[in-house]
C-alpha cells in the first residue's frame, strides 16, 4: 500500500477529514522518518484540508518531527513531577553519556535527545519515552542500561541490513 492509500484508508474512518490529520501524520512519519514541508503539503493535499491545519498539528505535538531524528529518539520529561524526581540530573547524565546537548543528534545518527512536557506517566517519574516505549523510575544506572540495549539493537539492525545487502556471502 502506498502512503496515499494508507492515509485515504485511515481517513475513511472519520466523518470529517480534519479529524484524520493526526493519524495521517503518523502514517507519513512512519513512511518518511520525519515530516518535512513537502510531506506536510502532500498530507494536506491527500486529505483535502488546509495546509496550515496540518502544519499546526505537526509543529505542536512532540510526537511529530519536522526535522530528521536519530534511530532512537530519547524524550526525557522535564515537567514538574519528573523535575522533582531528578530529571535535570538525568538530562546532564544523558548529555554526558551521548556527548551531545539537548536537541541534538549523535554524529552516528543513533540518538536524538529532547526534553518534553508531561508524558502522562507521572506515577513512575522520572520518565523517558523512546519510540513507543516508556521507561520510568529512571536513575543513571537504568539510563546506561537502556543506552546499552539500544546500541545492541542498532548493531543487530545494521548487521541484518548488511547481511540482506550481500546475500550469499
Q: Does 127 bind ligand FES (CB under 6 A)?
A: yes
Q: Does 82 bind ligand FES (CB under 6 A)?
A: yes
Grid cell in block for residue 92: 546532564
Which value, to the nearest 10 degrees, does the dihedral of the CA atoms of residues 97, 144, 117, 18 take? 100
Strands 133-135 and 128-130: antiparallel
d(CA 106, CA 102): 11
Do residues 127 and 121 lie in contact, with contact meaning Cβ atoms separated by under 8 Å? yes
How many residues lie near ligand FES (CB under 6 A)? 11
Complex with ligand FES: residue 47 or 127, whichever CB lies closer: 127
Contact range with ligand FES by CB under 6 A, out of 29-37, 42-50, 118-126, 150-158: 118-126
Supply the minimum distance, in Å, between the C-beta of residue 61 and ligand FES. 16
> Which residues of this chain interact with ligand FES, rule CB under 6 A?
77, 79-82, 118-119, 121-122, 125, 127
Amino acid at each position: 500500500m502506498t502512503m496515499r492509500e494508507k492515509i485515504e484508508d485511515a481517513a475513511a474512518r472519520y466523518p470529517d477529514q480534519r479529524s484524520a490529520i493526526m493519524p495521517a501524520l503518523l502514517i507519513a512519519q512512519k513512511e518518511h522518518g520525519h515530516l518535512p514541508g513537502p510531506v506536510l503539503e502532500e498530507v494536506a493535499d491527500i486529505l483535502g484540508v488546509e495546509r496550515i491545519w496540518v502544519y499546526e498539528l505537526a509543529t505542536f505535538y512532540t510526537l511529530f518531527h519536522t526535522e530528521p531524528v536519530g534511530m532512537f529518539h530519547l524524550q526525557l520529561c522535564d515537567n514538574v513531577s519528573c523535575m522533582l524526581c531528578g530529571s535535570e540530573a538525568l538530562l546532564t547524565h544523558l548529555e554526558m553519556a551521548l556527548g551531545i546537548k539537548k536537541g541534538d543528534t549523535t554524529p552516528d545518527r543513533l540518538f536524538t535527545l529532547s526534553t518534553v512536557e508531561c508524558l502522562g506517566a507521572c506515577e513512575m517519574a522520572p520518565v523517558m519515552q523512546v519510540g513507543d516505549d516508556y521507561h520510568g523510575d529512571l536513575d543513571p544506572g537504568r539510563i546506561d542500561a537502556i543506552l546499552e540495549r539500544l546500541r545492541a539493537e542498532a548493531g543487530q539492525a545494521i548487521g541484518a541490513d548488511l547481511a540482506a545487502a550481500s546475500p550469499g556471502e
